[in-house]
Structure 1
Amino acid sequence: MDELKKKLIQLVHSRYASWKAIYSILKANSAINNNEAANYSSINPRVERLNKDHQFISTDKLLNDYTTQNIHLITIFDEDYPDRLKTIYQPPWMLFARGNLSLLKNRESLAVVGSRNATAYGIGAIDYLFPSLIDNNVLIVSGLARGIDAHAHKAAIKLGGKTIGVIAGGFHNLYPKENVKLAEYMMEKQLVLSEYPPATMPAKWQFPMRNRIISGLSKGTLVVEARKKSGSLITADFALNEGRDVFAVPGSILSPDSDGVHYLIQQGAKLVKSSEDILEELGM
């Protein structure tokens, strides 16, 4: 293992890890290696704490533990790291992965997100759209949340398709509890990803941040039922900012569960009436 990868593993596991703090240290480290002036004293206190703390973390012990748990570590410097994800704003420094790593190479992937309080209409929309998508080998990416996310994963699996779940927190603290069995099945037969070490407890701020990974892995994002202020719209915003396609399933004008979807359509998202509307934009 090269020194850069070892250092990154240590940094990600530090208590003081944050994306910007890790960036500052890697940048300073690069400057030192290039004999440029690198002054840690000018770095903020969090970065200084991180720089001191990470050196006491044993990568050998971590890697041995993860090997026994079938957890794979993929750094941004590794060949297995998805090219599409590298282009997003603040790409994760590391992906913790359990399951079938070959799914990361699937080029035809679609993020599917929506309300945690999915209605029969939202469930029905997925069941209507998915058969043709799966027949065309579209991989489904979602967040393993309750509602639309969970049904998207289950529908893909039921139809014999491929799916990736991206979680907040770590593998040892799966949330919500009602989806633990689904997550465990996907860790065996599909793929589950996190940017956080396995022992990490899920925090509120991690959920919107993981949405950038969901959209970042995907060619486009499909929104099925979403309120005006919801995580689904955050995912759609990430997709738009990265120049990816956004698709929206229209709903009833009487339902607040469709307010966010209709807002996206007003902003230029493609209204979806059939799977062909999605396949056409994906170039399939």
Structure 2
Amino acid sequence: MNSFRNRLIHISACRGSTRRFIRNVLRKDPQLNNIYHLSPTTIAQQYALTSKASNYFYNDLRSDTIINQLTIYASKYKILTIFDKDYPLLLKHIPDAPLVLYAAGDVTLLQQIPSLSVVGTRHPSIEGKKKTKWMLEELIDLGWIIISGMAAGIDSYAHHLTLSNKGKTIAVLGGGFRHIYPRHNIPLFNDMVKQGLVLSEYPPHFPPQRYHFPERNRIISGLSFGTLVIEAKERSGTLITVDQALEQGREVFAVPGSPFIPQTEGCHKLIQEGAKLVKGPHDIIEEWYVHGHNLCNLQETDLQSNFSLL
């Protein structure tokens, strides 16, 4: 691969490679040259990989198929690395920022503010969609970017609602673009590519894995000013996104509801623990005017500073 950027994309697309592994390689081999000349045994020893992982990585690094796939992807999608100037600043400064992102659609949305991530249960109550519509429609009309994970339930409805109101929305996937999950969201994916933006840190040929979804949640929260929880059960994957938002120093908003349905238990727990109770969109807008300047003040960092983020 003939450039540092291409080598980073190439290495990230190989089996056995992880963000932690790539960061370790960058510290020892900042130009990503030497890694191409190491044996599987040396890779395993120097970078604490299992024998199986190092062999996968070694073989994929020499695979013409991988290189040909990446050439096709580069022609079809926008590929962003953490060292690129158009990589989103909000995301660059979170813990464990993605090193490579694949983008399909309008990448200019990554530079627009304000943005709000919207998450919730895959099985909303009867009131769930009404709450989502009530909280988001005014924000959409004001030009807010709505971010979610294109999962069933609240996530998908937030995307549909935004598109139907001619707003702008970003979906972050837990797998590659060739493996849309759930499959019934393939039409939504196609609409998002035409009218919004879809992101994944996984190459298009990577199928979703269970552990991908908690990983992608940090991107959902990291791209936004705050995270709005519409509905969530007390033990819910939605709350992983909340934990990541808090770790990133972002705002967390929760919509209250009836104490008699399980879909509100998680929101009530969040409010008890300090999340801002929101009754309508103006509560979120008010918080943006109070705290949004903190995110607006982020300045572009130079390449050396980027290495410090790794």
TM-score w.r.t. length of structure 2: 0.84
For residues 19 and 28 of structure 2, the distance between their equivalents in structure 1, rounded to whole angstroms, comes to 14
Deviation, structure 1 residue 128: 1.1
1:198 to 197, 201, 204: 204
Match of 1:64 in 2: 71
C-alpha contact 1:166 1:213 (8 A) present in aligned 2: yes
C-alpha contact 1:253 1:259 (8 A) present in aligned 2: yes
Quote the RMSD (CA, aligned, Å).
2.2
1:94-133 to structure 2, matched below 5 A, reads 94-133=100-139
Summarize deviations over 1:92-133 as a string: whole Å, max 9, x none.
110011001111111210000001001221100111122210
C-alpha contact 1:11 1:50 (8 A) present in aligned 2: no
C-alpha contact 1:21 1:50 (8 A) present in aligned 2: no
Deviation, structure 1 residue 57: 4.4
For residues 246 and 103 of structure 1, the distance between their equivalents in structure 2, rounded to whole angstroms, comes to 22
C-alpha contact 1:249 1:271 (8 A) present in aligned 2: yes
Match of 2:18 in 1: 18
Greater CA drift, 127-136 or 71-80: 127-136
Aligned length, in residue pairs: 280
Match of 1:42 in 2: 46
Q: 1:94 to 1:31 in 2, by over 3 A?
A: closer
Deviation, structure 1 residue 63: 4.1
Deviation, structure 1 residue 53: 3.9
Deviation, structure 1 residue 176: 0.3
For residues 128 and 206 of structure 2, the distance between their equivalents in structure 1, rounded to whole angstroms, comes to 32
1:187 equivalent to 2:193? Answer yes
Query: Which amino acid counterpart does residue 73 of structure 2 have in structure 1?
Result: Y
Deviation, structure 1 residue 28: 1.3
Query: Which amino acid counterpart does residue 21 of structure 1 have in structure 2?
Result: F
Query: Which amino acid counterpart does residue 47 of structure 2 have in structure 1?
Result: I
C-alpha contact 1:10 1:57 (8 A) present in aligned 2: no
For residues 32 and 277 of structure 1, the distance between their equivalents in structure 2, rounded to whole angstroms, comes to 47
For residues 60 and 85 of structure 2, the distance between their equivalents in structure 1, rounded to whole angstroms, comes to 24
Deviation, structure 1 residue 87: 1.2
Identity %: 42
For residues 46 and 175 of structure 2, the distance between their equivalents in structure 1, rounded to whole angstroms, comes to 31
Deviation, structure 1 residue 136: 1.8
1:192-271 to structure 2, matched below 5 A, reads 192-271=198-277
For residues 149 and 130 of structure 1, the distance between their equivalents in structure 2, rounded to whole angstroms, comes to 12
For residues 32 and 239 of structure 1, the distance between their equivalents in structure 2, rounded to whole angstroms, comes to 32
Query: Which amino acid counterpart does residue 92 of structure 1 have in structure 2?
Result: P
Give ranges in structure 2 of 5+ residues lacking alignment: 34-41, 293-310
C-alpha contact 1:248 1:271 (8 A) present in aligned 2: yes
Deviation, structure 1 residue 12: 1.0
Q: 1:163 to 1:16 in 2, by over 3 A?
A: same
Greater CA drift, 101-110 or 1-10: 1-10
For residues 2 and 76 of structure 1, the distance between their equivalents in structure 2, rounded to whole angstroms, comes to 18
2:153 to 147, 162, 172: 147
TM-score w.r.t. length of structure 1: 0.92
For residues 218 and 53 of structure 1, the distance between their equivalents in structure 2, rounded to whole angstroms, comes to 38
Q: 1:66 to 1:31 in 2, by over 3 A?
A: closer
Q: 1:152 to 1:90 in 2, by over 3 A?
A: same
Match of 1:55 in 2: 61
2:180 to 174, 177, 182: 174
C-alpha contact 2:148 2:170 (8 A) present in aligned 1: yes
Summarize deviations over 1:174-212 as a string: whole Å, max 9, x none.
000121100111012210000001011111111111000
Give ranges in structure 1 of 5+ residues lacking alignment: 34-38
For residues 79 and 266 of structure 1, the distance between their equivalents in structure 2, rounded to whole angstroms, comes to 40
